[in-house]
A and B are shown apart, each in its own frame.
Chain A
Amino acid sequence: GAVVSQHPSRVICKSGTSVKIECRSLDFQATTMFWYRQFPKQSLMLMATSNEGSKATYEQGVEKDKFLINHASLTLSTLTVTSAHPEDSSFYICSARVAPGVYGYTFGSGTRLTVV
């Protein structure tokens, strides 16, 4: 149980275009989802916290107009990279809080974004 499905797993897009990444909770309701970014050989960095029905909370240094997050339902959060540039190329991972408690997180399988 408690599976998060992330789609697509890989995407290549042209510079200047927008890309949408979906994160779905398959068998539970996720009121809170998290979006992470991982550069090569670096740690997972939290980008934003997505709350169902409200605006996302962005971490310092993350451009909210560039990384649009929508959490319109209890099972779906989306991250849209707008006007993508090559420096946006990275690995993006979503996570959901399954239940209250310290162990209640599950992760998506990640999306490899390459901007050419």
Chain B
Amino acid sequence: AQRVTQPEKLLSVFKGAPVELKCNYSYSGSPELFWYVQYSRQRLQLLLRHISRESIKGFTADLNKGETSFHLKKPFAQEEDSAMYYCALRDDKIIFGKGTRLHILP
């Protein structure tokens, strides 16, 4: 069965430190993976998708099929990065992980 696992509910990181939000998936076939972000009092929005191999707001995520992971990384955390982050996998619908709250400490 398709599944997305985000093992960390909360991640606290000091400003300027590197960030890594973990995501593992279970999927038979070639997955399409995304990261979504929800800032406080705002709607859920797409952060990035794996096929574009883009960097958005300094974040990147590499699909590792061997480890079935799609971890989200940023080399230097900023206070405005504090938000809820969801890893998601697309089949004919989107399957979300439980989310990780990223808290950037000043």
Contacts and interface: CB of A to CB of B under 8 A. Distances in A.
Interface residues of A, number: 18
Interface in A27-47: 34, 36, 41-46
Nearest to B33: A102
A49 interface: yes
Kindly name the residue among B45, B46, B86 whose own CB sees the greatest number of chain A CB atoms within 10 A.
Answer: B46
Contacts of B52: 103
Interface in B20-60: 32, 34, 42-46, 49, 51-52
Given A102-B32, A102-B51, A44 B96 contact: yes
Interface stretch (A14-22, A63-71, A77-85, A105-113): A105-113
A95 interface: yes
Contacts of B86: 43-44
Contacts of A56: none
Interface of A: 34, 36, 41-46, 49, 93, 95, 102-103, 105, 107-110
